A and B are shown apart, each in its own frame.
Chain A
């Protein structure tokens, strides 16, 4: 398996624009997670899915953020409208089980909002 795949790897956009980040989890994994990493706050869980269903979105900062998982092999994280404070590295991770298994992380998308 190629591991967790994320695209794009880098995104530079202007304030107010819509941004869509994409993730393909490892085949067979039932759980998918979206994280955000910043210098100030470290790694934070935004939302996670189980079998394509959102289970916990309490980490999503604002209504400007939304995430979908239309099928087992694809998820998106959308920010609309984007703001400079959204600049961060966004990671997608997947795992087979929630608690006992490790999570496998993608390479991340570095988002810069000007």
Chain B
């Protein structure tokens, strides 16, 4: 079974810093990988989706990379803002499974 790990579990940074969130997965045979954001008491919002044939995706200040062979993905956030404070989850879809495997998330706090 695919296992998805996110380290660190929590991260605090001062406003304006660039930061990287990490996601690793055990089975490299994936279809795609997604990064989600979850605000307290709310559902998940999709940030970026990377297909297995892609190396990275960008949206505004966010850049997600994918290295299938090493089972890793990173989410880079440039010039962090207090509004970026949330829990960030990565989710991996396997090629043979009808399922998204979620990591446990990284709780990010951006300090003004």
The residues of A with any CB-CB pair to B shorter than 8 Å are 4, 42-43, 45, 48, 55-56, 59, 91, 93, 98-100, 102-108, 110
B49 adjacent to chain A (CB < 8 Å): yes
Q: How far is the CA of A110 from the CA of B98 in the complex (A)?
A: 25
Task: Tally A-B pairs: CB < 8 A.
Answer: 45
Q: How far is the CA of A98 from the CA of B43 in the complex (A)?
A: 19
- For B, the interface residue count at a CB cutoff of 8 angstroms equals 22
Secondary structure of the B contact surface, majority rule: strand
Residues of B near A42 (CB, < 8 A) are 102-105
The residues of B with any CB-CB pair to A shorter than 8 Å are 31-32, 34, 36, 41-46, 49, 51, 89, 91, 93, 98-100, 102-105
Given A42-B105, A45-B99, A56-B98, 20 other A-B residues pairs in contact with their CB atoms under 8 A? A4-B43, A42-B102, A42-B103, A43-B89, A43-B91, A43-B102, A45-B100, A56-B99, A59-B99, A91-B43, A98-B98, A99-B31, A99-B32, A99-B93, A100-B31, A102-B49, A103-B46, A105-B36, A105-B44, A106-B43
